[in-house]
Amino acid sequence: MAAADPTFLTDPPRFVFFTGKGGVGKTSIACASAVRLARAGKKVLLVSTDPASNVGQVFGLSIGNTITEVPAAAGLCALEIDPEEAAAAYRERIVGPVRGLLPAAEIASITEQLSGSCTTEVASFDEFTSLLTDPDDRVAGFDHVLFDTAPTGHTIRLLQLPGNWTEFLDHGKGDASCLGPLAGLDKQKAMYAGAVEALSDPGRTRLVLVARANRAALAEIARTHSELAAIGMTRQHVVVNGVLPDPADDTDPLATAVYQREQAALAGRGAAIVALPTDLVELKPVNMVGLDALSTLFDTTTTTTAVSVDDTEPGVAAVADASLADLVDAIEADGHGLVMCMGKGGVGKTTIAAAIAVALARRGHDVHLTTTDPAAHLTDTLAGELDHLEVSRIDPHEASETYRNRVLATKGAELDDAGRATLAEDLQSPCTEEVAVFQAFSKVIHESRRKFVVVDTAPTGHTLLLLDATGSYHREIARQMGDGGRFITPLMRLQDPAQTKIVLVTLAETTPVLEAAGLQDDLRRAGIEPWGWVVNNSLAAAAPTAPLLRQRAVAELEQIDTVRDELANRCAVIPLAVSEPVGITALGQLAERHPAPVR
C-alpha cells in the first residue's frame, strides 16, 4: 500500500473496529479506510453497527440489512445492521419452527415476549456476533471486515455483550429469556464464545479509537482504551480527526484560538493514549460525502478556495439573529415541563441541554438536568454548581441494580430459596438493563409535572430504542386497561406538547441534518412532534476570515436554510465559540440574547 497510508492501515488484521465519542468522524474514517483498502486490491466489507447508521448517506446508496456492493469502488461492499429488520428476522427464527406445532395462544405469548426494544438490541447483537464467527460463510470471501460502530458507551456495551451472554448462559437456569426458548441457546452460546475469542485475538482484531482534538473526546478514548483493554482488546490505535492546520497568520482570532485550543488538548492527553500509535487527520474544506471527498481524507495537504462572503448579506444576518434565548423564553412560559435534547452523537446535545438548564435555573426555576447517554459527563460540562439546578445521570449499572433489588424484594418475597435463586439468575440477563433504564426514564418524565426537567439523550439510534420501549409499555397498558380504562403512560406525556418539548440538535453539515430530519420523521410516526431545532457550533454564525474556515462556513448556509425553511417549527443557531463552552458562565452566555464570545 502507499507510503502515505495512516499507521492504523499498515498490515491491518481481518477485523477493524472504529469507535469513539459521537460526532468525531468515525463513519468518515471507516468509509475512507474501506475505500483505501479496496483500491489497494482487497475485498472489503464495511459494516455499521450503529442504529442510526449514515454509511448509506456517505456513499449515496440505499444499503440496509443486506450486503450491498458499492459500484464506484470495486471490491467494496457495505452492510447496515438495521435494528428493526434484524429483530423481525430474529423473531421469525424463534417463532417460525414452532408455528403450527404449538397452540396459537402460546405462539402469541412468545411473539409478545420478543416484541420489545430489548429483543431489538439482542437481535442486532446477534447479527454482529454472526459476522465475527461467520457460521454461514457470509463473509468468508472478504479480506477485511471494518466495523463503523455506535458512539462509545454503546460500543463498549456491544463489545462486552459476548462475554456477558456467555456467562449468563453458563449459569442461567430460567426456562426462557429474551434470547428465545432454551432449545436455541446452545448454538448461540457457542457463537458468543467464538465472538469473545475473535475480539480478544490481536492477530484478528484491531481497535481504532477516533477522537477530535478536544478535551472531552480525548478523555473519552482514554476511558475506552482502559475498558476495552480489560476485556482483551489490546491492539489499539488512535486517530485524531479534523485537526485544524496551523493558520498561516494570526489575522483571524477564531482560527488562532481554535488551533491553540486543539494543540493544548493534544498536549494534555494522558500517557496511556500518548503511548498508542497515533495518526492526525487534518480538517478538510469539504464534508466527507461521496467517494471523491473520501479519497482526500488521508491526504496531507489541504486545498482551500478563497471565498468572500458579505456578513451583511441576508442569509448570514439571519443566522446571527437566531438566538437560543428565544427558545428559552418559550420554554419558560409554561412554568414546568420536560425538555429533551436529541440528535446525532457529537452535535453538542449535552452542551445545549446544560445551557437551557442553566438559563432556566438562573431565572429562578427549579430544574433537574439529567442524561440517558452512557458516554455523557454533565458534571464536566457544568464544572460547578448553581442554585435551583439538580444534576443526575441515569446510569445503566445503577438503574439495573436498583431494579434487581426491587424485583427481588417484591416478586421474590413469596418465593422459596430455589425460586429466588432462579429469579436472581434471570435478572442477571443483560436485557435487564434495558428495562431498568426505561423505568428510570419514566420516573424522570413523571417528575416534569411540577418542575423543569431537561434530558440530554443518548445518540439518535439508542434514543429511538428507548422510545420504542416507551411505546411497547404504552401498548401493553392500553391492552390491559381496555377501551373504557383511563390511564396516562410516559408515551402519552411525550406526545403532549404542553408537557414535552423535543429539541433536535444538529450541526450545519449534510449528514447530521439528514439524520436529524430522519429522527423527526421517526418521532412523528410515534405521534411525537419535535418542538424546535438548534444548529450548534456554526462557523457561518461566527463569521471567520481564515480561508479554510471560511470555505466551510459558506457551505453551512445551505444546510441552515434547509433547517430553518423546511424542517423546523422554530430554530436557533449557536456560533462556534472561541473556547469550549464549559462551566456555568460560558453555558449561560450561550442563551443570552446576543451571546458574547466565550473566552
User: What's at 176, amino acid-wise?
Assistant: A
Residue 292 phi, psi dihedral angles, 5° rounding = -60, -45
**For residue 157, how many other CB atoms are within 10 A of its CB?**
18
Separation of alpha carbons 52 and 22, rounded Å: 11
Dihedral of CA 556/559/564/570: which sign? negative
Length of the chain: 599
Separation of alpha carbons 178 and 188, rounded Å: 12
Residue 22 appears among annotated catalytic residues: no
Separation of alpha carbons 221 and 19, rounded Å: 8
Selected catalytic residue, list 20, 22, 23, 471:
23
Residue 28 appears among annotated catalytic residues: yes
Indicate left, alpha or beta for 330 from its phi (over 0: left) and psi (-120 to 50: alpha): alpha
Angle at 156 between CA 153 and CA 426, to 5 degrees: 100
Contacts (Cβ under 8 Å, ≥6 apart) of 13: 202, 203, 204, 205, 206, 235
User: What's at 142, amino acid-wise?
Assistant: F
User: What is the full DSSP assignment across 506-535?
Assistant: E-SSHHHHHHHHHHHHHHHHTT----EEEE
Strand ranges (E), 315-410:
337-342, 367-371, 389-391
Task: Say which DSSP state 50 is in.
Answer: -
Residue 21 appears among annotated catalytic residues: no
Residue 23 appears among annotated catalytic residues: yes
Strand ranges (E), 149-216:
176-177, 180-181, 205-212
User: What's at 40, amino acid-wise?
Assistant: A
CA distances from 304 to 240, 307, 309, 411, 569 (A): 21, 9, 15, 65, 35
Selected catalytic residue, list 20, 50, 124, 489:
50
Residue 26 appears among annotated catalytic residues: yes
Selected catalytic residue, list 22, 25, 172, 194:
25
Q: Are 145 and 45 in contact (CB under 8 A)?
A: yes
Residue of 257, 254, 278, 252 whose CA lies nearest to 266: 278
Residue of 569, 577, 484 whose CA lies nearest to 523: 569
Query: Helices (DSSP H) in 411-459: which residue ranges?
Result: 417-426, 432-447
Strand 236-243 and strand 144-148: pairing? unpaired
Burial grade of 208 (CB within 10 A; 0-12, 13-18, 19 or more): buried
Q: All 3 cell numbers of residue 59?
A: 456513499
Dihedral of CA 54/58/59/61: which sign? positive
Selected catalytic residue, list 19, 28, 68, 119:
28
Selected catalytic residue, list 19, 21, 22, 27:
27
Separation of alpha carbons 371 and 377, rounded Å: 8
Q: Are 426 and 438 in contact (CB under 8 A)?
A: no
Residue 395 appears among annotated catalytic residues: no
Selected catalytic residue, list 370, 511, 538, 588:
511
Contacts (Cβ under 8 Å, ≥6 apart) of 386: 358, 361, 362, 584
Residue 443 appears among annotated catalytic residues: no
Indicate left, alpha or beta for 75 from its phi (over 0: left) and psi (-120 to 50: alpha): left
Task: Say which DSSP state 576 is in.
Answer: P
Separation of alpha carbons 192 and 132, rounded Å: 9
* Active site members: 23, 25-28, 50, 511
